[in-house]
Structure 1
């Protein structure tokens, strides 16, 4: 049996795609650094080292959008794209897990 098909991504400019991809890469790196969810220092160190490059790519994508006159973020469209790209689960790794009852 095949898994259910994901909804299609909404129409995005190339810069918006780069923005979302870079944003999610930053989120993923921060999730691996999160001390409440990590398991080892080496993995967190590698994610922290990668974070610099991913943040630079995010800045560059936003700069390109601004220079091209894309002055507004169409949050409704971007939210739909983030949901398709599993953004909620990925961003959930940034939070502190709830306390477990003892």
Structure 2
């Protein structure tokens, strides 16, 4: 049995797609660094080192959008793209885990 088909990504400009990709990479790295969800320092250190480059790529994606005159962010469209790309689960790693007592 095949898994269900994912909904299609909304139409994005190349710059918007780069923004979404870079943002999710940063979110993934921050999730690996989250001290409430990690067990070893080495993985967090490696993620923190990579974060510098990915944050610069995120900045560059936003700068390209700004230079091209894309001054508005179409949040509902970008939110749909994030949901299709599993952004809710990935961003969930940034939060504190539930407390053991409740």
Bucket of the pairwise TM-score, normalised by the shorter protein: over 0.9
Post-superposition offset of 1:74: 0.2
Q: Distance in 2 between matches of 1:60 and 1:101?
A: 43
* Separation of aligned partners in 2, 1:51 and 1:39: 19
Describe the SS at the equivalent of 1:46.
Answer: helix
The size of the alignment, in residue pairs, is: 102
Name the residue aligned to 1:99. 99
Encode CA deviations 1:33-66: one digit per residue, 9 max, x unaligned. Answer: 0000012100000000000000000000000000
What displacement does 1:98 show?
Answer: 1.3
What SS does the aligned partner of 1:6 have?
Answer: coil
TM-score (norm 1): 0.98
| Counterpart in the other structure of 2:80 | 80
Q: Which residue of 2 aligns with 1:42?
A: 42
C-alpha separation between the residues in 2 aligned to 1:39 and 1:58? 28
Residue 60 of structure 1 corresponds to which residue in structure 2? 60
Partners of 1:42 and 1:63 lie apart in 2 by 32
Report the CA distance between 1:92 and its aligned residue: 0.3
TM (norm. structure 2) is: 0.98
- Structure 2: 5+ residue stretches without partners: none
Q: CA deviation at 1:101?
A: 2.1
* Counterpart check, 1:8 vs 2:8: yes
RMSD (Å) for aligned C-alpha atoms: 0.9
